[in-house]
Amino acid sequence: MTAIRAARADELDAVAAMWSAMYAYQQAQGMMLAVRDDAGEIWKRENASRLDSALATVLVAELDGGLAGFLAAQTKRLPPYLATGNPKIGYISAVYVDPAARRHRVGKALVDAALAWFTRADCSSIELQVVAGNELARAFWTSVGFAPEILQMRRPL
């Protein structure tokens, strides 16, 4: 059974390694934005104070006694010209499930926990980005209730 909880500071190295694996996978799926060689370390440093607060959380999934995945989330506010109601929205910035733990509903358990966290944070909606060429991720997000809204495009200079 998968257990979901807020990440602990002593797990940040393992979570940052998963974050780096996530970006390597996304680049293989067509993500054009390059990351620095030390991106995992920077991500770890920036998220050390955001493991579980009112504005952000990093959730981890435990499966069979080890970390099987993580989800990073935060709240933000829409600009006044885009908010007709509650301007507070949720943003899922990263999700990763170890390949050995896939097909065990770990991703869904992480998303369900994030949805509960966003509900407690009084968010009106949740947004995220998916690499256009990542068919598996697009199918997963559709299966948990998300729908395409905006297509982000990039042109290197």
Tell me what pLDDT residue 130 has.
Answer: 95
CATH number, residue 29: 3.40.630.30
Asked if the structure places residue 154 within a domain, the reply is no
Asked if the structure places residue 156 within a domain, the reply is no
The span from the CA of 23 to the CA of 29, in Å, is 10
Rounded to two decimals, the pTM is: 0.92
Best CA proximity match to 18, nearest among 33, 40, 36: 40
Asked if the structure places residue 147 within a domain, the reply is no
40 three-class SS:
helix
Q: Is residue 115 classed exposed, middle or buried when 0-12, 13-18 and 19+ CB atoms within 10 A define those classes?
A: middle
CA 99 to chain centre: 16
- How many structural domains are present in the chain? 1
Containing domain of residue 80, as a range?
A: 3-142
Tell me what pLDDT residue 85 has.
Answer: 87
pLDDT tens for each residue of 44-94:
999 888 888 889 999 999 988 899 999 999 999 999 898 888 999 999 999
Asked if the structure places residue 155 within a domain, the reply is no
Instruction: Please tell me the total number of residues recorded for the chain in this structure.
Output: 157
Asked if the structure places residue 55 within a domain, the reply is yes
Asked if the structure places residue 110 within a domain, the reply is yes
Asked if the structure places residue 78 within a domain, the reply is yes
Q: At residue 84, what are phi and psi to the nearest 5 degrees?
A: -95, -15
Contact 21/35 with Cβ under 8 angstroms?
Answer: no
pLDDT > 90: what percent of the chain? 78
Q: At residue 111, what are phi and psi to the nearest 5 degrees?
A: -65, -45
pLDDT tens for each residue of 92-114:
999 999 999 998 999 999 999 99
Tell me what pLDDT residue 68 has.
Answer: 96
Asked if the structure places residue 68 within a domain, the reply is yes
User: Which structure tokens are listed for 11?
Assistant: 């797990």
